[in-house]
Amino acid sequence: MAAPLRSRHPIFARCFATLAPLAETAGAKGVRQELLAGLEGRVLEIGGGTGANLRHYPPAVEEVTVVEPEGYLRRGCQRAARGARARVEVLAAWAERLPLPDSSFDAAVSSLVLCSVTDQGLALAELMRVLRPGGELRFYEHVRSSGAVGQLQDTLDLPWGLIAGGCHLNRDTVAAITAAGFVIAEMRNVPPRLVGIPLPGPRMMLGRASRP
Ligand SMILES: C[S@@+](CC[C@H](N)C(=O)[O-])C[C@H]1O[C@@H](n2cnc3c(N)ncnc32)[C@H](O)[C@@H]1O
């Protein structure tokens, strides 16, 4: 039987909403702009959080549908939607069970979400279903590193998940994207930075893949 989907992370949600703006000033803004560059038409964003991506969608994006299961974050996203250029609809739903028709989006976006979904395989199958053939999945996701860092991520995975809203440090998200049938067109490691200096540790994969 499939694992139950979880959406109640009230303490994490408030901490995340408070701390996320600091990440924007520390360089996340540039990554978000690169993540979304060149998109157009109808876009689905899963796990939109407080809507930090919304103001970075390029003008050719007409409509963004955001799926956000956590109530506190969803309300933040609805507030952010008011300042967005595109039409935005924010839905209370999970990536694993999208209440959306087949082949209805030109692109989908996942930033720091595939680490936290309950079932990556199901979420990616749903993304594949709702994207039109040739549609793109844009992703920015932290993944398991190799060597000692990877072993540390394995050790910290359980306690980290308890404080970080079910986030997993050691998922092989790139392999999961490929296993779901997406074809990766471009991808690079964009490590987090502190005062402009790249931090060693988690690999942060920024890329695009398409539905064949
Ligand atoms: C670290 S936050 C990232 C938020 C946002 N994407 C960003 O880039 O700032 C992870 C987000 O994934 C959402 N999430 C967790 N499980 C999910 C699921 N099964 N389906 C959709 N979103 C989920 C959380 O509620 C949270 O908003």
Does the beta carbon of 110 lie inside 6 Å of ligand 1?
no
The residues of the chain scoring below 50 in pLDDT are 1
Q: Given this model, what pLDDT does residue 7 score?
A: 61
Report the first-to-last Cα separation within the chain, whole angstroms.
29
Q: Whose CA is nearest to atom 27 of ligand 1?
A: 49
Taking the model in full, what pTM does it have? 0.94
Instruction: Using the mean position of ligand 1's atoms as its centre, give its distance from the Cα of residue 98 in Å.
Output: 14
User: What pLDDT sits at residue 27?
Assistant: 72
Encode pLDDT of 45-64 as tens digits.
999 999 999 999 999 999 99
Element (H, E) at 18: helix 10-23
Taking the centre of ligand 1 as the mean of its atom positions, its distance from the CA of residue 185, in whole angstroms, is: 24
Please state, as a whole number, how many other Cβ atoms lie within 10 Å of the Cβ of residue 112. Answer: 19
Query: Taking Cα atoms as reference points, which of 65, 110, 70, 109 lies closest to residue 89?
Result: 65
Q: Which atom of ligand 1 is closest in space to residue 164's alpha carbon? A: 1
Per-residue confidence (pLDDT) for residue 1, from 0 to 100: 43
Nearest-angstrom CA–CA distance, 64 and 45: 7
Is residue 85 within 8 Å of 59, Cβ to Cβ? yes
Question: Contact, 104 vs 132, CB < 8 A?
Answer: yes
- What tens digit of pLDDT does each residue of 103-117 get? 999 999 999 999 999
| Ligand 1 atom nearest to CA at 49 | 27
- How deeply is 132 buried, as exposed, middle or buried, from its count of CB atoms within 10 A (0-12, 13-18, 19+)? middle
pLDDT value of residue 4: 58
Q: What pLDDT, on the 0 to 100 scale, is given for residue 180?
A: 98
Closest Cα partner for 134 from 186, 212, 62, 205? 212
d(CA 37, CA 59): 10
Residue to probe by mutation, ligand 1, list 64, 113, 141, 173, most atoms within 8 Å of CB: 113
Architecture per CATH, domain 10-210, reads as 3-Layer(aba) Sandwich (3.40)
